[in-house]
Amino acid sequence: MSIDEYSRLDGLGLAELVATKQVQPIELVDAAIARIERHNPKLNAVVWTMFDRARAMAKGPLPQGRFAGVPFLLKDALGDIEGAPTRHGSAFVPATPYEQNAYLTNRFLAAGLVPLGKTNVPELTLMPVTESRLYGPARNPWDVSRTPGGSSGGSAAAVAAGMVPVAHANDGGGSIRGPASCCGLVGLKPTRARTSVGPTLGEGWGSLEVEHVVSRSVRDSAAMLDATAGSEPGDPYCAPPPAASYLAELANAPKALRIALVRARPDGSAPHADCLAAVDHTAALCRSLGHHVDLIDPPAWWAASSEPFTVLYATSQVTFIDSIAAATGAVPSPNQLEGYTLAVYEMGKSFSAAQYQASLNAIHQFGRAAAALHRQYDVMLTPTIGAPPLPIGTVDTESANLEVTIGQLLDFLPFTTMANMTGQPAITLPLFWSADNLPIGSQFIGRFGDESLLLRLAAQLEAAQPWAHRHPPVWN
C-alpha cells in the first residue's frame, strides 16, 4: 500500500482492509512510518518512536478488535506503555521506561491498534500550545508557522498530516478540543470518568481531566469510545453506561434539537471574527437541518469559573512535581522546569486545602447549573477557541508572569474549560476554514453522560458538510 493510499482512509477504513485481507498490518505500519519520516521533520509531532516494536507487533498475531492492524500514536502524557518513557514534555521527568501499561493503553491494544511512538506535548500539559523546552515546538500542518494547539498538539498535527488516522489525546481544560480545532479534526471530550486513568491515578486534575483521541472522522471517534469506555476495578467512580454502542448510534439521525448558541466569551466580550464566523456558519447549518437554535448570553456562572479551575489546575501540578521529586531526588529548579511551570507550581503551593475543597464544591455547583440549562436545551453551541491558531512563540513558556500568561491562555481557550468543570461531554467539529485556510472548529456541549447525542449530531453534520477531502498544505 502506498503512503498516499494509506493516508486517505480513516481508522475503520484501514481496519476493514485488514479484516478482508486486502492488506497486511505490516503494510499499514510501513506506510505510517514512511509518512512520519516524510512529515515529522517539518512538524515535530512525534517525539519518541518504537518502529521496530511496531513492525514486530504487526507481523505477529493481533487482538481481533475493531481497529486490528491500524497504526496509532500515544500521547507523551498518560499514554504509558511498558518499555517506553512518558516524560510529560519535561526534562524534570526522567526518561525511564515504564514497567506497566496504563489501563487505557491496554484497551487501545485490545482494540488491535499498533502504537508507533509518542506525540509532542507542552511541559506537564499546562499550555494550549505545544512548545516545550524539552521537545521544541510542534507545528500546524495547515501553516507551519502556527501552533497545532495543546496539550494534544503533537497528536493533532500527526493525524492532520495523515501520519496516523487517529491518536491518543487527553483534555483537562480543552486539550483535545483546542488542537482538534486548530488542525481541522474531530475532538470529543468524553463525560467525566468515561474512561479510566488508572492504575497510577484515580482522577486527573481534580476530576477535570479525561482521556480519548483526536480523529479525522466521527465514526472513528465513536468506535474508539466503544473500545475504551468503562471503569476498571478500584476506580473511584464511573460515568453512566451508554444505552447502545456509540458507533451503532451514528445510524440514528437526531430529532429536531433545541440548541443554545453562545457567541460571547464568559466576560461578555467577542472572540476573534473568524471564530464568530465559524460558529455562525455552524448555527446556520444546524437550522438548515431542522434544529432550533436560540442565541443566549453566557451562563452567569461562567464568569465565576476561572478561580476554581485555576486552583485545581495549579494544585495538581504540585502533586505531580512533588511525586517526581520524591522518586528521583531532583529539586524543582529553573534548570529543569520552564518559568511558567515553576510559577504555576509555586502558586499551587500557596493554595490551602480549604481552597481546594471549595473549588471542588464550586465545580459541582456548576454541574448542577449546567444540568438545569439542559432541561431547556439539548445541546449548547459555542466557538471552540477564541482566536485562530496562534503563531508559534506567541506565548512565552519561560515567563513567570502568571497574570499575563494565564490571561493569554484563557483568551485563546475561553470556551472549553466549562465542560471540564461540569464533567459534560463536548465535541469540536471542523466545519469552517478561514480566509487564511486555517480550520476553525465549533464546539457542541451535551448533557452529562450523553456522548451518543453529540456523536449522532456530529455524524449528521459530517454528512451534510464533509470535511475529509480537505487536506493541509503539508499533506503531499
| Residues catalogued as catalytic | 75, 151, 175
Long-range contacts of 273-278 (CB under 8 A, 24+ apart): 274/387, 274/388, 274/434, 274/435, 274/438, 274/440, 275/383, 275/384, 275/385, 275/386, 275/387, 275/388, 275/440, 276/383, 277/432, 277/434, 277/440, 278/383, 278/431, 278/432, 278/434, 278/440, 278/441, 278/442
Please tell me the distance from the alpha carbon of residue 326 to that of residue 64, in angstroms, as a whole number: 41
Residues 6 or more apart whose CB falls under 8 angstroms from that of 443 comprise: 177, 181, 381, 382, 383, 384, 415, 416, 426, 427, 428
CA 84 to chain centre: 21
Please tell me the distance from the alpha carbon of residue 1 to that of residue 12, in angstroms, as a whole number: 16
Residue 199: is the preceding peptide bond cis (ω within 30°)? yes
Backbone angles phi, psi at 240, to 5 degrees: -60, 135
Please tell me the distance from the alpha carbon of residue 53 to that of residue 208, in angstroms, as a whole number: 33
Residues 6 or more apart whose CB falls under 8 angstroms from that of 92 comprise: 321, 324, 330, 332, 336, 337
**DSSP helix/strand/coil, 119:** strand
Q: CA 20, 106, 327 angle in degrees (round to 5)?
A: 150
**C-alpha distance across the termini of the chain, in Å:** 16
| Cell 522518586, residue located | 327
Please tell me the distance from the alpha carbon of residue 414 to that of residue 275, in angstroms, as a whole number: 12
Nearest Cα neighbor of 397 from 39, 147, 76 is 147
Please tell me the distance from the alpha carbon of residue 274 to that of residue 466, in angstroms, as a whole number: 20
Q: Please name the amino acid found at residue 405.
A: T
CB 340 within 8 A of CB 399: yes
When computed from its CA atoms, the radius of gyration of the chain, rounded to whole angstroms, is 20
Please tell me the distance from the alpha carbon of residue 193 to that of residue 104, in angstroms, as a whole number: 12
The strand pairing partners of 79, in sequence order, are none
| CA dihedral of 56, 58, 59, 64, whole degrees rounded to 10 | 130
Nearest Cα neighbor of 463 from 252, 278, 276, 262 is 252
CB 449 within 8 A of CB 287: no
